[in-house]
Amino acid sequence: MSITETRPQISLPDLLNRVAQLNSGDLEQFVSQVLTLRAKRVATSISKQKTDILEKINRGLDKETQNRYNDLVAKRQTEMLTNKEHQELLNLIEEIEQVDVERAQALIDLAQLRNSTLSHCDRSHALRGNDINLYHQ
């Protein structure tokens, strides 16, 4: 047999009526505790949102895809790329561009969350090693 905890339900108007009966010192303490509770809930929500955004910003290509991209770029530079490989390279470029679009949107979201500028967020989350100059290789 399981035991479940039941809490008495109190309506918001009843709660406010009871709070109205508190003396000034208890009211100040109550308000302080309510504000602390609210801040914790907001911080948890923002923290989760920020974590999700940072994951998108820091997301890169998996190692296998990055290596294949590098191989195809090297073949293109030596003019040894077949038509099939050229199409594969174009597909990879589209995939990389999509990742870049998602990263840019995440940077915008982070800037809004921090009440900051996009350029500041971009500098503070500088491009990672495998993202730098992908198209200039």
pTM passes above 0.85: no
Which are the contacts of 38, defined by CB distance < 8 A and separation ≥ 6?
A: none
What single-letter amino acid sits at 44? T
Range list of H helices, 59-82: 63-77
- The predicted-structure confidence for 93-132, as pLDDT tens digits, reads as follows 999 999 999 988 999 998 888 888 877 776 666 544 334 3
On whether the CB atoms of residues 54 and 110 are closer than 8 A, the answer is: yes
Angle CA 133–134–137, to nearest 5: 80
Q: Strand, coil or helix: what is 59? A: coil
| pLDDT in 10s for each residue of the chain, 137 residues | 566 666 778 899 999 999 999 998 888 888 888 888 887 787 777 788 888 888 888 888 889 999 999 999 999 999 999 999 999 999 999 999 999 999 889 999 988 888 888 777 766 665 443 343 344 34
